């Protein structure tokens, strides 16, 4: 054998670590239960409790795994209505209220005046106890356990999103999505997830200092924007644009692109920016009436996606109260 | 070894439902504690999770036990996470979003840093076994790609039991150095 080393010290170290782990595995595998427990106890570990925790963790994970492999349950009508979705909807903090509906209506009619939108104080989302994992059969089927866990996570996510803890909210939703993919596809849940992801992106952009250039809708992006929305041709939308030298040109481009997509655009002249809870709405925000039909709800989702696709910062779709006069509103605020 | 492989079966035969996870958890905990891995129980829990949820599937025909695999995958993840955390820390606040996206693989600079840390660990191990020449022989053999006990016995002309005993002592020293490595990283990244 040559005396020349074949491995660098670093590579040798890695091999040694791997060998040590393998040796340890073999050594421990040969220990009897009593020996193993005695060794753990000597290290200050309660072996019985450790085994129990391990068994419970595995039971929970295996239940989730089984649920992931199982077909999602549907209601007799074929529609899936996750509890979490309903809960998230109830807990949604963005139940928007038009504080001065008359002013808004006047604005829509061209009479001027500002439209004021208030954001209700978020109510804490109802939560359910974390489901316990059965240590022995019989117990709830794995898919039920997974669904319960997903529901709990989504309830928590609603609270986190309501408190603008976007990272935690997104994390909870993604965990829930793994447990209950069908529930993740439900509109309220998908919206909440998109909202959290956008908000995080915006935080990221803000941290980088943001853009100080006027927003534009270049031809290429406008074409994509139009194409994305053409599927919802005929959709009515109110374009509520803040006055000013910066928002107005953008509004003009958006109105033109929406019109090209076949949307019916109403563009009131506002004398002041739209405000939410006393705060001026910046960037863009999609508002949709909760009682709007499914086509409008889908259009609202598509609009929010298309705005992001056109590299325009947006939030929503958020709920606007019934009777606000417009099933679907796109608010364009100052930057 | 062949019999062991046959006994363990092939990868496709691994059935997590048939595993005594209480025992496996205890075994993995014993390994992690013996190797002086920080937050041993958290690491083991993470490893069990990764194996069962399919993130780190176990191959029963491989050369490590399930408990060792549990520790290995979670420890590997923890190290990778530490690298990612250091990277984020370097980037500051702007990296908040990145934790929800897949991190890029290590940069050349990070790989160099890891290599330097490995070199340092190897030298530290050599220093640690200065008083145990048998272990030192085994450590030096590792640079020549001789890792198996039988190969080491043949190369050194030792009886296999002598090699095994030396390997046990070497494992303890490796654990000590690995523990020190963590402290070095903490010092480098206060």
Q: Give how far B92 is from chain A: nearest CA, Å.
A: 9
Whether B29 contacts chain A with CB within 8 A: yes
Cβ–Cβ of A50/B34 closer than 8 Å? no
Q: Are A270 and A242 in contact (CB under 8 A)?
A: yes
Q: Residue A111: is its pLDDT beyond 60?
A: no
Residue A213 or residue B123, greater confidence: B123
pLDDT tens for residues A260-276?
Answer: 999 999 888 877 787 76
Q: Residue A62: is its pLDDT beyond 50?
A: yes
Q: Residue A34: is its pLDDT beyond 90?
A: yes
Q: Give how far B118 is from chain A: nearest CA, Å.
A: 4
Q: Please tell me the predicted confidence (pLDDT) of residue A75.
A: 38
pLDDT tens for residues A94-110?
Answer: 333 333 333 333 333 33
Q: Give how far A111 is from chain B: nearest CA, Å.
A: 43
Closest partner residue to B64 among A7, A10, A21, by Cβ?
A21
pLDDT band, residue A197 (cuts 50/70/90): confident
Interface test with A, best of B16, B42, B57, B68 (most A CBs within 10 A): B68
pLDDT band, residue A212 (cuts 50/70/90): low
Q: Please tell me the predicted confidence (pLDDT) of residue A29.
A: 95
Q: Which residue of A has its CA nearest to B64?
A: A22
Q: What is the DSSP string of A166-225?
A: HHHHHHHHHHHHHH-HHHHTSHHHHHHHHHHHHHHHHHHHHHTT---SPP---HHHHHHH
Whether B121 contacts chain A with CB within 8 A: yes
Q: Please tell me the predicted confidence (pLDDT) of residue A155.
A: 86
Closest partner residue to B52 among A15, A20, A62, by Cβ?
A62
- CB proximity list for B12: less than 8 A, separation 6 or greater: none
Q: Which residue of A has its CA nearest to B123?
A: A9
* 3-class secondary structure per residue, chain B: CHHHHHHHCCHHHCCHHHCCHHHHHHHHHHHHHHCCCCCHHHHHHHHHHHHHCCCCCCCCCCCCCHHHHHHHHHHHHHHHHHHHHHHHHHHHHHHHHHHHCCCCCCCHHHHHHHHHHHHHHHHHHHHHCCCCHHHHHHHHHHCCCCCCHHHHHHHHCCCHHHHHHHHHHHHHHHHHHHHHHHHHHHHHCC
Mean pLDDT of chain A: 75
Q: Please tell me the predicted confidence (pLDDT) of residue B88.
A: 62
Closest partner residue to B64 among A25, A40, A64, by Cβ?
A25
Highest mean pLDDT among A59-68, A213-222, B6-15, B43-52: B43-52
Q: Residue A59: is its pLDDT beyond 50?
A: yes
pLDDT band, residue A21 (cuts 50/70/90): very high
Q: Residue B153: is its pLDDT beyond 80?
A: yes
Q: Which of A227, A213, A219 is nearest to A258 (CA)?
A: A227
Distance of alpha carbon A236 from alpha carbon A256, whole angstroms:
14
B65-74 mean pLDDT? 95
Q: Which residue of B has its CA nearest to A22?
A: B64
Q: Residue B102: is its pLDDT beyond 60?
A: no
The DSSP bridge partners found for residue A276 are A117, A279
Q: Please tell me the predicted confidence (pLDDT) of residue A172.
A: 85
Interface test with B, best of A1, A7, A17, A175 (most B CBs within 10 A): A17
Q: Which residue of B has its CA nearest to A46?
A: B26
pLDDT band, residue A216 (cuts 50/70/90): confident
Cβ–Cβ of B31/A21 closer than 8 Å? yes
Q: Which residue of B has its CA nearest to A55?
A: B22
Residues of chain B contacting A53 with CB distance shorter than 8 Å: 25, 41, 45
Residues of chain B contacting A200 with CB distance shorter than 8 Å: 96-97, 100
Distance of alpha carbon A163 from alpha carbon A121, whole angstroms:
10
Residue A275's φ and ψ, nearest 5 degrees, are -120, 150
Residue A198 or residue A325, greater confidence: A198
Q: Percent of chain A having pLDDT more than 70?
A: 72
Distance of alpha carbon A240 from alpha carbon A108, whole angstroms:
8
Q: Give how far B6 is from chain A: nearest CA, Å.
A: 16
Q: Give how far A195 is from chain B: nearest CA, Å.
A: 14
pLDDT tens for residues B117-141?
Answer: 999 999 999 999 999 999 999 999 9
**Whole-structure pTM over 0.90, yes or no?**
no
């Amino acid at each position: 054998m040559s005396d020349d080393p074949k491995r660098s010290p670093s590579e040798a170290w890695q091999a040694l670590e791997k060998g040590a782990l393998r040796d340890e595995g073999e050594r421990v595998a040969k220990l009897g239960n009593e020996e193993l427990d005695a060794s753990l106890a000597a290290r200050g570990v309660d072996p019985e409790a450790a085994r129990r925790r391990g068994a419970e963790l595995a039971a929970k994970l295996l239940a989730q795994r089984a649920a992931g492999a199982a077909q999602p349950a549907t209601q007799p009508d074929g529609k899936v209505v996750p509890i979490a979705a309903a809960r998230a909807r109830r807990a949604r903090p963005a139940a928007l209220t038009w504080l001065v509906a008359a002013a808004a209506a006047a604005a829509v009619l061209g009479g001027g005046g500002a439209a004021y939108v208030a954001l209700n104080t978020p109510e804490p989302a109802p939560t359910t106890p974390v489901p316990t994992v059965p240590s022995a059969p019989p117990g709830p089927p794995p898919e039920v356990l997974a669904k319960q866990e997903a529901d709990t996570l989504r309830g928590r996510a609603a609270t986190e999103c309501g408190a603008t803890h976007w990272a935690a909210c997104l994390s909870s939703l993604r965990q829930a999505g793994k447990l209950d993919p069908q529930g993740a596809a439900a509109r309220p849940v998908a919206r909440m997830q998109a909202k959290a992801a956008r908000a995080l992106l915006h935080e990221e952009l803000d941290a980088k200092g943001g853009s100080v250039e006027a927003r534009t809708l270049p031809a290429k992006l406008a074409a994509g924007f139009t194409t994305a929305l053409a599927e919802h041709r005929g959709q009515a939308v109110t374009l509520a644009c803040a006055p000013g030298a910066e928002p107005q040109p953008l509004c003009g481009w958006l109105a033109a692109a929406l019109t090209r997509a076949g949307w019916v655009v109403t563009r009131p002249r506002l004398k002041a920016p739209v405000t939410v809870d006393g705060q001026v709405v910046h960037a863009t925000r999609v508002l949709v009436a909760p009682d709007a039909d499914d086509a409008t709800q889908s259009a609202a989702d598509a609009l929010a996606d298309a705005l992001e696709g056109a590299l325009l910062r947006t939030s929503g779709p958020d709920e606007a109260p019934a009777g606000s006069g417009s099933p679907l509103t796109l608010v364009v605020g100052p930057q | 070894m062949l019999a062991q492989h046959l006994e363990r079966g092939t990868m496709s035969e691994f059935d997590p439902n048939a595993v005594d996870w209480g025992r496996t958890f205890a075994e993995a905990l014993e390994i992690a504690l013996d190797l002086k891995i920080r937050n041993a129980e958290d690491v083991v829990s993470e490893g069990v999770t990764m194996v069962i949820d399919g993130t780190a599937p176990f191959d029963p025909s491989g050369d490590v036990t399930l408990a060792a695999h549990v520790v290995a995958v979670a420890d590997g993840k923890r190290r990778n996470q530490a690298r990612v955390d250091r990277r984020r820390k370097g980037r500051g606040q702007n990296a908040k979003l990145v934790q929800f996206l897949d991190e890029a693989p290590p940069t050349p600079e990070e790989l160099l840093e890891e290599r330097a840390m490995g070199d340092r660990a190897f030298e530290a191990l050599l220093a640690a076994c200065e008083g145990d020449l048998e272990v030192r022989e085994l450590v030096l053999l590792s640079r020549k790609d001789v890792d198996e006990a039988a190969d080491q016995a043949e190369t050194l002309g030792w009886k296999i039991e002598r090699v095994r005993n030396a390997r046990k002592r070497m494992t303890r020293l490796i654990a000590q150095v690995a523990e020190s490595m963590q402290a070095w990283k903490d010092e480098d990244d206060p």
